[in-house]
Each structure stands twice: as C-alpha cells, then as structure tokens.
Amino acid sequence: MTPTVFNLIIRSGLLPQTRTFRNGVASAGGAITSEQARVVDRFLTRPLLSSGLWSSMAALYPFIGGSAAAHSVNLVAPGTYSITWSGTVTHDANGATSNGTTGFGSAHLWTVLARDNFHLMAYAGNSGSPTAGGEFDYWCNNGTPQCYLIHLGSSNRMIYRSNDNTTTTATSATVNGFMVNTRTSSGTKEITLRSTNESAAVASAVDPRAENMRLFATSVVGQACNIRTSSTGLGLTTAQRAAYQAIIENYNGALGRLVS
C-alpha cells in the first residue's frame, strides 16, 4: 500500500451504492480490491451524493480494476449501460487506452440523453500525438447532427458539437485532464477544459440519434488516447462543473494518476 494514496481514506463501511458497484464488477467478470473499493467510496460515491451530482449521472465509469470487465461497469447503475469493448483497447491501472484505429467502447445509452440537457465528460491522461487531420474521440454519435468531444490534429485544439451541426474549436489549448461538453439550453453550448469555461451561441438541431455512444475510435483515423474516468448524464451548470472537476481530480489523485 502506498501511504500517500490511502492515508485519507475513511475506514468505515462502504455505502450501499459502492457495494453494489463492487458486486457489479464481480458479476461482469472483473475485480477490484478492498482498497480500490474504499477509494471509489471515499472519492466518488460520497462526494457525488453529498453534492447532489449523483442524480445528474446516467453513467459514470471509474475505470478502476485494470481489466476490460472492471472498466465496463457503470458506477451509478451497475448492470445498465455497460461498455462493450471492441478492437484493441488496453486496460491497466491508468484506465483504458485505445490504439487509435480499431479500439472503442460502445455504451448503449445515447437515446436516454435529452437534446438540450446533457453532459459528456472525459478525464484524459494524455493528448496523443496528433498528425495533421488526425483525430480521436472521447464520445460521439455518428451522423448529423453530432455530439462529441474530439481532438483535431490540424488545429491542435479540442473541437466539439452538442447536438448541432457546427464544429466549434476551443480557444484553450488544453487537450487532457478534466473536460466536459454540456448543454443546459437550446441556444448555447458550453465546454470546460480543466478550469477554463467557454461557450458558443449555437442552437441545437434535433434530438440525439438512436445510436450507441462510442468512447474512442469512430470511422475516421484516430490517435491513441488514454481515459481515466468518463461520464454522461444531465447538463451541468458552471458551478456544478467546478464541483465535479474537484471530485474527479481528487479521485484520480488518490489513485496516483492525476494529470499535471
């Protein structure tokens, strides 16, 4: 055990939600240790519940346990919206890493999200090594309009769509760490890249398409990318995104995988 990782962990019993998650991982064929379960309990379950953010999550993937099975399980509702992994995705203590071409995960939950009330979050461990025109997705649905959080090599900036037909390029150069694409209204889309908030007055187009959401690769050539935590659910205000960022960073910091 590394003292700096676990010395702040509450040694009391796990909350029912965390126990259900651990059982769900086991049912999926994976495993997490008692120490890992306490990290999830202390740094995800408890603060998400106390902040009210738990109810904003349709799916949250802690990517803990180091295996494809463990990384497939949804913390807030184990057994629902599980990720199905395809192609080449590497799973270890740092989360899930795609090979940038064939590897992706399908989350089977796109149609549960509302047109103007959703978020997509990725805590990314690296920015890849993009080439001109190369790109990698965090979440996306194929077709038009789209919703995604994606890195475009030719501009070296994060670009995003939010159930609209307009590709918006972020001003911030951040392409790793805590990132959220969100809508809480029909007329404006917002993005948070670490602590930088940006918005664009772009109206949504139509409701989400009836397709699976994908983590990592799409039909375009991608770049290898590591994701350490990811979620989707209801739209998040600026204050909620700040609170959520602190939770996700504390969680990954407890696991020794905080992005500097």
What are 53's two structure tokens?
Answer: 């953010």
Per-residue pLDDT, averaged over 89-118, amounts to: 85
For residues 15-39, one letter each, b for 16 or more C-beta atoms within 10 angstroms of the residue's C-beta and e for the rest, the string is: eebbebbbebbbebebebeeebbbb
pLDDT interval class at 131 (50, 70, 90): low
From 125, 109, 123, select the one nearest 44 (Cα to Cα).
123
> Which residue ranges make up each domain of the chain?
11-254
Instruction: List the single range of 5-9, 63-67, 156-160 with lowest mean pLDDT.
Output: 5-9
Confidence at residue 213, expressed as pLDDT on a 0 to 100 scale: 78
Q: What would the pLDDT profile of 188-237 be if each residue is shown by its tens digit? A: 999 999 999 999 999 998 777 666 678 886 545 556 788 999 999 999 99
Write down the pTM of the prediction. 0.91
> For residue 2, what pLDDT is reported?
46
The chain-wide mean pLDDT, for the chain, equals 86
Residue 113 is predicted with a pLDDT of 79
In the predicted structure, residue 74 carries a pLDDT above the cut 80: yes
The dotted CATH code for 11-254 is: 2.60.120.200
pLDDT at residue 230 in the model? 94
Whether 67 has a pLDDT exceeding 50, the answer reads yes
Residue 3 or 35, more confident = 35
